[in-house]
Structure formats: structure tokens, C-alpha cells
Amino acid sequence: MLTADRERLISLMTEQAEFGGTDAGGLHRLALTEEDRVARDWFCNLLDDAGLDVRIDAIGNVFGRREGIDPDASPVLLGSHLDSQPYGGRFDGPLGLLGALELVHVLEEEDLDTTHPVEVVNWTNEEGARFQPPMMASGVWAGKYDLDDVYAATDDNGVTVEAALEEIGYKGPEPAEPPEAYDAYLELHIEQGPKLEREKKDVGVVTGIVGLTWTETTFYGQPNHTGPTPMHLRQDALVAAGDLITQVPRTANKLSDTTRGTVGAIEYDSEAISIVPDEVRLVWEFVDYEDELVEAGYQRTLDEIEQIARRHDVEAESSEITRFESVAFDDRCIQAVEAAADDLGYDSMRMHAGAGHDPMNVAEVCDTGMVFAVSEDGLSHTEEEYTSWDDCYSAVNTLINAGYQLAK
Ligand SMILES: [Zn+2]
């Protein structure tokens, strides 16, 4: 079995956390910012030092390639992302990326050739914090999104993705698409949930990714003076919004144990105390591995919104912003990850990913799989996010052996 260099992994993980590192030990490295540029430059140097051919595509994805023996064999790709959430954690993304690079380091040190080329990739803007949608660059690469549409996406200051790429020097010369067929893609990521820790497992073997809907609803009421307007004549948009906020989780609970329903965003810009609230915008989400349950949550909530609007005599408008179908990974990738964990003596479990990841896009191009590392207390997208070095090490060893198995 291959074994990662634990000290190198720790030292690189520690180094990368300085680019956009926060006082509380987290990471604030939004996509295509100066911090992202510094991290990318550092990463490109690592690829270079490892003897890889580096190429950058038009959406800023960075690839490093180690040739295989068979010129006709298609590459095995491993990767993740360097960008973070605002005040996010230092493991989400970089662990998978440096884990992927570790395979190349170990192959070099052990002087091992592979039949297939091995490529390492840093996907641009996985998080979708500064620019939406999330996972936009793997989406372009996989042919799900149009490059020009994604170039035109803007941040809160009106800066486009294209301008931001140019600003940091990462609008690369390569077309943002696979230059050839790919054999397989593997990604190591932190679990971002509590299952592995609760079940006392060393690593997770991910069999697929949940689907989801994000839908935006706006309630329009009638602004009026609160004192003279009797309660039965109110058209209060905020009370309607309140009903929706409690209804969405209730619907999820009724649907199944696995369905998640959340109202995570609300926009109501008034601090007026004596005016009946007139306009509130919310975004609600349903997540499940079963696409029918996501659809059921969506439909039931649309029905519920009609009733809420009638009850409070307000208007409601809804439109779906995003829908991702769930993705089932490929058996050969799942088995490669599981076998690697077994052979290394790690205790693993099969599980679904409960959040979106680049592999859901890459799965359109080639066979795909994922390895999960333990997330302490299931926390992520926060500075408190933590994975012990032991758990990082187990997950990286699983990744590199699975990757080697596929590339060998
Ligand atoms: Zn991530």
C-alpha cells in the first residue's frame, strides 16, 4: 500500500491556511480574490516542483499532469478547491487538493509508473460565496454551463467573473472543457456532517450526492398604518413569511427522516415599527438523495404558499433558482475507495454526501467517486471546522491508494 508523507501533508496544510487565514484559525479566501491568487500561485509552484505539466483553462481551473505509460490511456483526475466560504474553515477544499497532490509525490518517491496519466485539479469557485452558482467552473468544464453566462456572473460590487479572473491572472489559455476523454475522477473532502464521528469510522466511502431545490418566494402585502388598521384587514407580508419559515421544516419532517427543509435567506428591508410589512423575499431549500422527495417538498410548499397567501390576503410569487438532481457514483470508483480503506485497515462506511460538490458535475464526464474525512462535531463553513491530522492522514491514504488502483 502507498502511504502519504504525514509531515509533508501537515506542513502544506498549515502553509495554505496562511493565505486568507483568520485570527480564529479559519479561512477567508473567497474565489478570485487576492488571497485566492496567492494560494493559486503557491499551488502552481507545488505542481511545478512536483514535475507536473501545468495548464490553466479559460475559467481558471488549474491542472497538473503526470504522464502515464500508455499513450492511449485516458487520465485519472483527482482534485478539489482552494476557495473558501466567508470566515470558513481551513480543511474544506485544501485537504482534497493536497491529498491529490500527495499521490503524485508518493508515485515520484516510490518511482512508480502508472498506465494512465494522473492529473490534479483545483476547481475555480466551488463555494459560490462571492459568485453564483457554486461549482461553476466544474460545471463549465463538464458542459453544464455556458462559459459566457458564467463569465457574466457578478459579485456584490458588480465585478464579473471574467474581470476577476483577468485581475488575478487566471483567465487561462486552455479551453474550459476536457481536452480528451477522462477515465475517472476522485475527490477527498471533509464530511461536513456528524455521521463518521458518531459511528466512530475512520473514513467515508461516498456513493452519491443529494439533490436539491432552491426556490425564491416573495410575499407582497399592503403597507398601512398599524394603529388604525384592524387585524382582520391586514395584508401583512412578514406574517405570511413567518408561516412559510415554520412550514418548510415541518414539511421536511413529514416527508421522511432524510429530507431537509430550510428557509436560509430572508430579505426584508424595513425598520418601520408602525407600518404593516409590505414585501418580504425568502429562499427555501429541500435536500434529499431521493429526487422524488425533493420534488414532493417543492410541490407541497408551492401549495402551502398559495394557502398562506390566501390566509393573509397577500400576493405570492415563486420561482425556482436552482435544481440539482442527485448523483449516484460509479461502482468501480466506490469499490476502489472502499477496497483502499479496507486494505489500509481503516474502518469505513458507505454514505451519501449531504451537500453539493464538484464531483456532481464531473460525474457527467467520467466515472466518479469520493472519500470523506471525519468532521469534528460535523461543523463546516465556520472557523471552528476541524479534522484531526490522524483523520486527514487516513483519508489521504485512502484517496491515494484508490487513485493509484485506478491509474495503475
Ligand atoms: Zn468544499
Give the distance (Å) from ligand 1 centre to CA of residue 298. Answer: 26
Looking at residue 35, what is its pLDDT?
A: 98
Bridge-partner residues for 225, per DSSP? Answer: 275
Can you give the residue ranges of every domain in the chain? 6-210+326-407, 212-324
CATH architecture of 6-210+326-407: 3-Layer(aba) Sandwich (3.40)
Average pLDDT, the chain: 97
pLDDT range class, residue 322, cuts 50, 70, 90: confident
Give the distance (Å) from ligand 1 centre to CA of residue 291. Answer: 22
Give the distance (Å) from ligand 1 centre to CA of residue 190. Answer: 8
pLDDT range class, residue 271, cuts 50, 70, 90: confident
Give the distance (Å) from ligand 1 centre to CA of residue 127. Answer: 6
Give the distance (Å) from ligand 1 centre to CA of residue 135. Answer: 9
Closest CA to 280 of 222, 343, 218, 210: 218
Amino acid identity of 146? Answer: D
Q: Which CATH class is domain 212-324?
A: alpha beta
The CA-atom distances, in angstroms, between 227 and each of 35, 231, 242, 300 are: 52, 10, 21, 35
Which helix (H) or strand (E) segment is 323 a member of? Answer: strand 315-324
Looking at residue 300, what is its pLDDT?
A: 98
Give the distance (Å) from ligand 1 centre to CA of residue 356. Answer: 8
pLDDT in tens, 168-188: 999 999 999 999 999 999 999
Name the residue with cell 462535531.
377
Give the distance (Å) from ligand 1 centre to CA of residue 124. Answer: 11
For residue 155, give the DSSP letter. -
Give the distance (Å) from ligand 1 centre to CA of residue 191. Answer: 9
- Residues with Cβ < 8 Å from 177, sequence gap 6 or more? 57, 140, 141, 143
Give the distance (Å) from ligand 1 centre to CA of residue 302. Answer: 31
Contact 92, 134 (CB under 8 A): no
Give the distance (Å) from ligand 1 centre to CA of residue 318. Answer: 29
Give the distance (Å) from ligand 1 centre to CA of residue 39. Answer: 15
Whether residue 63 has pLDDT greater than 90 = yes
The CA-atom distances, in angstroms, between 177 and each of 82, 181, 295, 385 are: 20, 10, 31, 33
CA angle 35, 186, 14 (to 5 degrees): 35
Got the DSSP string for 50-105? Answer: TTPEEEEBTT--EEEEE--S-TTSPPEEEEE-----TTB-SSTTHHHHHHHHHHHH
Detail the DSSP E strand segments found in 193-304: 203-209, 211-220, 260-267, 279-288
pLDDT in tens, 101-113: 999 999 999 999 9
- In whole angstroms, give the CA distance from residue 237 to residue 322: 24
Bridge-partner residues for 79, per DSSP? Answer: 121
pLDDT in tens, 204-254: 999 999 999 999 999 999 999 999 999 999 999 999 999 999 999 999 999
Give the distance (Å) from ligand 1 centre to CA of residue 196. Answer: 17
Give the distance (Å) from ligand 1 centre to CA of residue 80. Answer: 7
Rg (CA), the chain: 23
- In whole angstroms, give the CA distance from residue 405 to residue 401: 6
